[in-house]
Amino acid sequence: MTPKLSVAIITLNEEVNLARTLASVQFADEIIVVDSGSTDRTLEIAASFKAKLYLEPWQGFAAQKNFAIERCSGTWVLSLDADEALTTELQTEIHLLLSGQPTADAYLLRRRNFFLGRWMRHGGYYPDPHLRLFRRHAANFAPPARFTDRPVHETIAIGGTTETLNSDLIHHAYPTLESYIESLNRYSTLGAQIVIEKGHTSSSALALCYNVLLLPTLTFIRNYLLRLGFLDGREGLLLHLYHSTYTSWQYAKAWQTVRKSTTTR
């Protein structure tokens, strides 16, 4: 028999994206949606696709996704963001994979990232592999797969072998500049926490200049020029310009947080 596949998705006000995501995983045996307080039509859309719906106050990305995984009953779990969708080719590939004898315990999915409606093919944004399909238990007596506990850019911790599938996952990331700038602000705040935890918060003027000016400039040169991001047109220019801004903001916010803590002592 084909092993059971569960899909795990976390949501918050995702009415624009969710129907597209759920429509692409209808071949799965079970769909788990964990919502953290949506006030739009997210819950209605989830119910219309017969998803199993759970309400859980926001605990952070990793904790929220782990809550969703814990409610899956399948042998395999496909963890998706609400703004992602499987191509028909990827749907077929996963179905055939699980119908046979999978040779790995976890699989990376290649992502096509869209920015302002354009597929970002260069600058390090493709194929952008992410580990999303995995056995809940890679081996007997092994702990279940879980996302690592970090503020942002959480990843799956799992034992066993890993391979990469051939077909693509579509990431409808940022349809507008406003949505990207809002995300830029939110993620740079979370990224600042990681910078602080790693101790990369020297208060010297020289270190601050490197972190908020030189490092973002080098990031832009690497991705836009050396990794051919300029081939993605005006959208590529804006994406790499603002991505370098993210690098600057997270270090500036980390410096500001440490500065406030030292001045209040």
pLDDT tens digits, 29-82: 999 999 999 999 999 999 999 999 999 999 999 999 999 999 999 999 999 999
Distance CA 184, CA 250 (A): 9
- Is 203's pLDDT higher than 90? no
Calculate helix-pair angle for 233-263, 177-198, nearest 10 degrees: 40
User: Tell me, which fold does domain 5-174 have in CATH?
Assistant: Spore Coat Polysaccharide Biosynthesis Protein SpsA; Chain A (3.90.550)
- Percent of the chain scored above 90 by pLDDT? 81
Distance CA 141, CA 136 (A): 12
Q: Where are the domains of the chain?
A: 5-174, 177-263
Mean pLDDT of the chain: 93
* Amino acid occupying residue 249: W
Q: Which spans in the chain are helix H?
A: 18-23, 42-48, 61-70, 88-99, 177-198, 205-209, 215-220, 233-263
